Structure 1
Amino acid sequence: MRRETDHSITVVSGLPRSGTSMMMRMLDAGGMDVVTDNVRRADIDNPRGYWEYEPVKRIAEDASWLPATCGRAFKMVSMLLLRLPADYSYRVLFMERDLREVVASQRKMLERQGREPAAPDARMETMFANHLAQVDAWLAGRENMALFRVPFVEVLAEPEAWAARIGEFLGRDLDIRAMARVVDPSLYRNRAAELDTERQRSPGP
């Protein structure tokens, strides 16, 4: 079911480390035209690549690149969604992941880079929860944005079923099996259950 006249922009969004790169990889495998420049190379944290497009990060200063993305998909962290111009139609695939996992994944990535987290894990979880509430409220008031929430863990468990749902939401005749094949459960690290066990073993302050 392909909408040939649908020129809306597909935005893959969510918190950093929430599965946005996986979703971009799925769309690409399914046959959708994705916007990426490969400036940020694959590494130990994202061995399958980041699938980013550098101009997205500067959308507050320059959105001149946006018209060329109509009918295509790009990745954008949730912090930048509020910068999207209102004169376009968007389909937002919003990745959702347990905040404990998101924070742990971000912390470990920063540690590998020799950098310190901005705040302790518990504080970061609260900050992200508040941010997501703000984004939810903002999206609810946008008539030009269609929203589809994608649970990261469920995609790993049932990739083909979720690929089909995503194709239906986008109104595109995507290759569902190809999308499912690129989902790699072995890359699911920093699982909530394991993190809880680690916290229970850690001595208190």
Structure 2
Amino acid sequence: MMKPTLFVAGLGRCGTSLVLQMLDAAGMKCAGKYPDFEPVEMKSFSKPVDTSWLKSNAGSAIKWLDPHKVRVATSEIDASVIWMHRDHHQQAKSQAKFMEALLGVHLARSDISKLKNQLRTETKLALRATRPLPLHVICFERLLSEPAETAANIVQFLHGTGHQFSHDPVSLMADQVIPRKPKCMPDLSIEAFLVEQSRC
């Protein structure tokens, strides 16, 4: 029997890449390339994601950012969802940092506050877009403070949706979490380290 697809979903800068790195370490097939795992097929706002592409990746883990904008025909595929939640203030700061680093756009404190409120609104819309798929919520802050426990919860959820591992992957998954505080870091040093690691 074909395994269901696993969507790792959320709004930008919430920890979806980290969860996919954990799943990759556990031996699960993940769409896209390490360390961000962002296939081009999941980036279009103008048209729904190709259902045939999704079905060809059945059993894989797929990053699904902004589900309310990147449309998936959830009723046509066998899938489940891990939803990544992050403190909206820290997430807004992280998005602002990313925009400044990549686009040279600096956001003032008032802009970051507006972004935080926008994240609150969009979270509700995005979660609604994942219905009626089975959903497991992971808190980014909890993942950083308790990586082994969070990994075990992920494995338990996957077992319940038809995914089985030939070994106990919890320690391999937890090892992918670089110890750090949950507050937004001032730079992209972790991202740079992971990109460099991918070249080795």
Q: CA deviation at 1:136?
A: 3.0
Which letter does structure 2 place at the counterpart of 1:19?
G
CA distance in 1, matches of 2:107, 2:72: 28
Which is further off, 65-74 or 18-27?
65-74
Q: CA deviation at 1:51?
A: 1.8
Which letter does structure 1 place at the counterpart of 2:157?
F
Q: Which residue of 2 is the match for residue 26 of structure 1?
A: 22
Task: Tell me if structure 2 keeps the 8 A contact 1:37–1:54.
Answer: no
Unaligned 5+ runs, structure 1: 39-48, 192-205
1:110 corresponds to which of 95, 99, 102? 99
Give the superposed CA RMSD: 2.3
Q: Which residue of 2 is the match for residue 197 of structure 1?
A: none
1:70 corresponds to which of 58, 66, 69? 58
Matched, 1:183 2:177: yes
CA distance in 2, matches of 1:21, 1:182: 11
Q: 1:19-67 CA deviation, whole Å, 9 max, x = no partner? A: 01100000001111111146xxxxxxxxxx3121111113725503111
CA distance in 1, matches of 2:107, 2:38: 22
Label 1:123 to 1:151 Cα distance change in 2 as closer, same or farther (>3 A): same
Matched, 1:35 2:24: no
2:114 corresponds to which of 95, 103, 123? 123
Equivalent pairs, count: 174
CA distance in 2, matches of 1:104, 1:62: 29
Task: Tell me if structure 2 keeps the 8 A contact 1:99–1:125.
Answer: yes
Q: CA deviation at 1:78?
A: 2.6
TM-score scaled by length of structure 2: 0.78
Label 1:27 to 1:177 Cα distance change in 2 as closer, same or farther (>3 A): same
Q: CA deviation at 1:155?
A: 1.0
CA distance in 2, matches of 1:148, 1:123: 28
Q: CA deviation at 1:6?
A: 4.9
Matched, 1:55 2:49: no
Q: CA deviation at 1:186?
A: 3.3
Matched, 1:155 2:146: no
Q: What fraction of aligned residue pairs are identical, expressed as a percent?
A: 27
Task: Tell me if structure 2 keeps the 8 A contact 1:82–1:138.
Answer: no
Label 1:13 to 1:61 Cα distance change in 2 as closer, same or farther (>3 A): closer
Task: Tell me if structure 1 keeps the 8 A contact 2:84–2:140.
Answer: yes
CA distance in 1, matches of 2:171, 2:114: 40
Q: CA deviation at 1:137?
A: 3.6
Structure with greater Cα Rg = 1
Q: Which residue of 2 is the match for residue 194 of structure 1?
A: none
CA distance in 2, matches of 1:182, 1:31: 13
